[in-house]
């Protein structure tokens, strides 16, 4: 009769439904991070006119 280690018993008794739920949660975290980065990258950067150089086109001054 073969004796099993505690680790072998834990691996064999792993709950499959928990694994699926964990995978879905990790996927949701990754998608959330990608969406957050994308939204941050898409926001325009407004430079105050005092800091803008006179050679740079601004919202109030055409090129």
Enumerate the domain spans of the chain: 1-63
Burial of 52 per CB tally in 10 Å (0-12, 13-18, 19+): middle
- Considering the entire predicted model, what is its pTM? 0.51
pLDDT at position 36: 97
Torsion of CA 46, 48, 54, 59, to 10 degrees: 50
pLDDT tens digit string along 6-55? Answer: 888 877 777 777 788 899 999 999 999 999 999 999 998 887 777 655 55
């Amino acid at each position: 009769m073969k004796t099993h280690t505690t680790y072998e018993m834990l691996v064999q008794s792993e709950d499959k439904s928990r694994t699926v739920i964990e995978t879905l949660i990790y996927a949701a975290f990754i998608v959330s991070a990608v969406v957050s980065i994308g939204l941050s990258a898409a926001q325009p950067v407004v430079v105050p006119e005092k800091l803008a150089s006179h050679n740079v086109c601004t919202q109030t001054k055409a090129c």
